[in-house]
Structure formats: C-alpha cells, structure tokens
Amino acid sequence: MEPGRYRVINVKGGTALDLDINNNSTVHGWAFHGGDNQLWDFEHIGDNIWTICNANTGGYLAIVNGIAGDGVKAVSWADPFEIGVPDTAFHLDLSDHGNSADGTAVQVWNASDGRNQCWVVEEA
C-alpha cells in the first residue's frame, strides 16, 4: 500500500468509514456517496504504523481517550493516532455484527474472525 487518499469499506456491512458531518467527531458506517467525509489520507510513518486523516476535516482516526477496549468508539481527533497494522489485540469493528444501516457505530473490539472487522481500502 502506498500513502495516499483512500475510501475504507466494511466487508460485511458494505458501508464506508464515514465522519459525521454534523459533529466532525463521530465515525460510523454509511452508504458510500464519495463525499470528502468518507475519504481518508493514509500516511506511513514507519514500522507498519500509519496515520489516517479525514479528507474533509483533517482530523485523525482515533479512539476515545486513546485507550483500546471492547466497544470503545472510533472518533476524529486533532492529533495523529498511530495504529499498528499487524498483530494487534483490537481491530476496527463495524458494530452490531456488521450492521449495514447508516449510522452504525465504528468501534474497536478484540480481534475475531468476523467479517465486520474486515475492511477494504481502495484508492479514491
């Protein structure tokens, strides 16, 4: 993968990783429409670590209070949040077992084989 602008689609729900334009903080799943709030800039900063920044606001994909745990919501944050790609205990998860409804929360959850934790990253 090269640094650049991408859309991120959940395999099970088919929805895009979307930053709520009403509060510029909540990250949820939403039907893909191509708006900048659904586009993310990936920057490789070394050792399989990337920052993911929203194209609309410049806010970084993060988790509430920076502490991973089952059900902790994904949010947008002013400072970059480093994520390790391989061998993590928690994965980005489309809640409700990959519910395809617009507004379904995106959170972190202990790694599982669930397709609700699988995401396709496509060039925008």
Q: What is the CATH number of the domain that holds 99?
A: 2.80.10.50
Tally of domains in the chain: 1
Residue 34 pLDDT: 95
Range(s) of the domain holding residue 114: 4-123
Residue by residue, pLDDT tens for the chain (124 residues) are: 899 999 999 999 999 999 998 888 999 999 999 999 999 999 998 887 888 999 999 999 988 877 778 888 887 866 654 444 445 688 899 999 999 999 999 998 888 888 999 999 999 9
Mention every residue, 6+ apart, whose C-beta is less than 8 A from residue 98: 10, 11, 12, 13, 114, 115, 116
